[in-house]
Amino acid sequence: MKTFRTIWNQPGTDVTGMVARSDKVVNTCEALLGGDVYHYHSKFMLKDAKIAAPHYWHQDYGYWYHNGCLYPDMMTVFVALDPCTKENGCLEILPGSHKCGRIEHNPIDGQFGADKTRVDAIKEKCPLIYAELKPGDAIFFHSNVLHHSSANRSNKRRWAYLMAYNKVSNNPVIEHHHPRYTPLQKVPNSAIKECTNFTDMSGKDFINPCKNESLVDGYKEK
């Protein structure tokens, strides 16, 4: 069985949107990327107990490069909604691998994964770490960082909320199912706790995988 996911392009005004627009998230991304950013997309990754398959080694920019983003000035914020452990398929990361540049990605068992020979060589230089997290913990990582997750063989689910950001100066040069630059209205951190909208998803622009072949089986999209 596969990991389930729900993807949307605009942050919206619900509580997930408050997180994606919060000063502490957006300002951290801008400090790390060295300039203004906009919300590229967000998603829930739902890896249920004993059914979710592994996600092979890849770089997010391995996909986003094909979306017309000329530079890897992009990043992901991974927020744990459940405990993330080795047993339930936490992220596995090669720190420093973003310095290796974009790696070729090829079809692997219905996914789009990084070249295995190159990944094995990079592992010798960038030793693997397991990103074991508690609910509410977050990881900020560059779009060229190699990462993957193993299957969930435990009796506990592993759900996560991911937010992707692109630098304003890296506006995509082609039309794609993810947006070009759209102004991002930041909110104070207190807006997360104060938000009472848990059900109105207006304006989030959810992606329908039935209408976009590049989303099927994760082949060209993360």
pLDDT at position 217 is 37
Could you tell me the CATH number of the domain that includes residue 71? 2.60.120.620
> Would you say 203 and 42 are in contact if contact means Cβ atoms under 8 Å apart?
no
pTM, entire model:
0.92
pLDDT at position 155 is 96
| pLDDT tens digits, 164-216 | 999 999 999 999 899 999 999 999 999 999 999 999 999 999 998 776 544 43
pLDDT at position 114 is 93
- If you count them, how many residues does the chain have? 222
b/e per residue 11-27 (b: at least 16 CB within 10 A): bbbbbbbbbbbbeebbe
Q: Is the predicted pLDDT of residue 218 greater than 60, yes or no?
A: no
| pLDDT tens digits, 28-61 | 999 999 999 999 999 999 999 997 788 999 999 9
Domain that residue 65 falls in: 4-218
Mean pLDDT of 139-163: 97
pLDDT at position 212 is 57
pLDDT at position 2 is 66
pLDDT higher at 107 or 77? 77
Integer Cα distance of 168 and 172 in angstroms: 9
Q: SS3 letters for 15-52?
A: HHHHHHHEHHHHHHHHHHHCCCEEEEEEEEEEECCCCC
CA geometry: angle at 59 spanning 68 and 148, to 5°? 145
**Tokens 């994964």, located at residue:** 113
Mean pLDDT of 5-19: 97
Please give the distance of CA 113 from its chain centroid, rounded to a whole number: 15
Per the structure, the count of domains in the chain is 1
Q: Is the predicted pLDDT of residue 222 greater than 90, yes or no?
A: no
